[in-house]
Amino acid sequence: MRERLSSEAYVNGILAGDRIILSRAITVIESRLQGDRELAHSILQGILPHSGNALRVGITGVPGVGKSTLIEALGTHLTSLGKRVAVLTVDPTSSKTGGSILGDKTRMEELVRNPLAFIRPSATGLSLGGVARNTREAMMLCEAAGYDIILVETVGVGQSETLVKGMTDFFLLLTLPGAGDELQGIKKGIMEMVDAIVVNKADANHAQQTETAISDYQNALHLMPPASSGVPVKVMSCSAIENKGIAEIWNLIAEFENTTRLSGYFEKSRALQQIDWMHEMIRQLLEDSFYENNKVKTRLPSLEAAVKEGNLLPASAAKELIALWLKQ
């Protein structure tokens, strides 16, 4: 294991915008070692007053839709406007397969080398809840390091969209032309979560299919309840590879930010996200403390056996274990 710095050294390095220190601090927050958890806590405490200032944008879509190509194009556009951009990923596949859908080394080649950009794929081998916690904490560190925009990328698998929606200010769904079949495959729940739908690969030779896709999505949206942000969900197109429609996507996001800041929705939504996070942390910490308790660990196997054999109700076993844990 690489040597750790003092928490002040991490905090000062992050506040000075040192990318190497930022990277090492993210490694600390990703670590499960008890000593690292304590160090992570004091780093987060130290940077807390300096976090929260970035615009947080979530981007989802099936593998192959062009998320990393779009992020490369959008990130490059943003840095050309003088903005500092951090890219984080929530990748539920990485823990299962060892390899990651999002972790391909060749992705975002240009942005990786851009001094105004910082890219960090999600750690592997964690539960989705663990990935979400890391991403939230990494986001705070990036904000303290002065990044203006955080792009959080996720593959639309399982609960990952809900998690990313719950930590971002603007949530974008990337899709493909030829929507007919595509539309069937998109979960209704996602359509209700998004602030914009962008049809990618709207290259010059896909004009007709793109138009059809846009109107299909617009029709589908008409059947949905109005967005809670108060801003109607916009459907637009882009060609990430031809760099077309990228500035328009950014204009849309910036306009959304302005409108929702004025209406008060922006702050309200952030505050609710913080409260949700707190409850999520309570659940996680309680669970960790319960399963790490020695009395619980000792008693658990025999109660599991009794439940398995049908001699004990699961609820009775749970109550007994919780009583043991509380008695410590």
Joined tokens for residue 25: 């601090």
Shortest-Cβ-distance residue relative to ligand GDP: 66
Q: How far apart are CA 218 and CA 216, in angstroms?
A: 5
If binding is defined by CB under 6 A, does position 58 make contact with ligand GDP? no
If binding is defined by CB under 6 A, does position 136 make contact with ligand GDP? no
Which amino acid appears at position 279 of this protein?
A: H
Which amino acid appears at position 253 of this protein?
A: I
Joined tokens for residue 54: 């970035």
If binding is defined by CB under 6 A, does position 69 make contact with ligand GDP? yes
DSSP tag of 66: S
- Pick the piece of the chain touching ligand GDP (CB under 6 A) from 20-28, 217-225, 238-246, 249-257: 238-246
Count of C-beta atoms within a 10 Å radius of residue 19 = 14
- Pick the piece of the chain touching ligand GDP (CB under 6 A) from 37-45, 59-67, 177-185, 209-217: 59-67
Q: Which is nearer to ligand GDP, 154 or 260 (CB)?
A: 154
If binding is defined by CB under 6 A, does position 64 make contact with ligand GDP? yes
CB of 231 to ligand GDP, least distance (A): 25
Cα–Cα distance list, 216 to 90, 191, 213, 219, 234 (Å): 28, 12, 5, 5, 13
Q: Which is nearer to ligand GDP, 66 or 92 (CB)?
A: 66
CB 88 within 8 A of CB 122: yes
Count of C-beta atoms within a 10 Å radius of residue 37 = 13
Joined tokens for residue 146: 């002065």
| Residue 239 three-state SS | strand
Strands (E), 25-116: 55-61, 85-90
Site string for ligand GDP, 188-227 (x = CB under 6 A): ------------xx-x------------------------
Count of C-beta atoms within a 10 Å radius of residue 302 = 11
- Between CA 179 and CA 185, with CA 182 as vertex, the angle to 5 degrees is 150
Q: How far apart are CA 240 and CA 302, in angstroms?
A: 57
User: Please, what's the largest Cα pairwise distance for the chain?
Assistant: 69
Q: Which is nearer to ligand GDP, 227 or 241 (CB)?
A: 241
If binding is defined by CB under 6 A, does position 182 make contact with ligand GDP? no
If binding is defined by CB under 6 A, does position 66 make contact with ligand GDP? yes
If binding is defined by CB under 6 A, does position 68 make contact with ligand GDP? yes
Which residue in 240, 252, 303, 317 binds ligand GDP (CB under 6 A)?
A: 240
- Pick the piece of the chain touching ligand GDP (CB under 6 A) from 82-90, 125-133, 233-241, 259-267: 233-241
Length of the chain, please?
A: 328
**To the nearest 5 percent, what fractions of the chain are helix, strand and coil?**
60, 10, 30
If binding is defined by CB under 6 A, does position 75 make contact with ligand GDP? no
If binding is defined by CB under 6 A, does position 248 make contact with ligand GDP? no
Which residue in 11, 65, 144, 214 binds ligand GDP (CB under 6 A)?
A: 65
Q: Which is nearer to ligand GDP, 193 or 303 (CB)?
A: 193
Which residue in 61, 156, 166, 245 binds ligand GDP (CB under 6 A)?
A: 61
| Count of positions on this chain that bind ligand GDP (CB under 6 A) | 14
- Pick the piece of the chain touching ligand GDP (CB under 6 A) from 28-36, 62-70, 157-165, 279-287: 62-70
- Between CA 296 and CA 304, with CA 298 as vertex, the angle to 5 degrees is 80
CB of 64 to ligand GDP, least distance (A): 5
Is 90 buried (19+), middle (13-18) or exposed (0-12) by CB count in 10 A? buried
CB of 155 to ligand GDP, least distance (A): 7
Residues that bind ligand GDP (CB under 6 A): 61, 63-69, 200-201, 203, 239-241
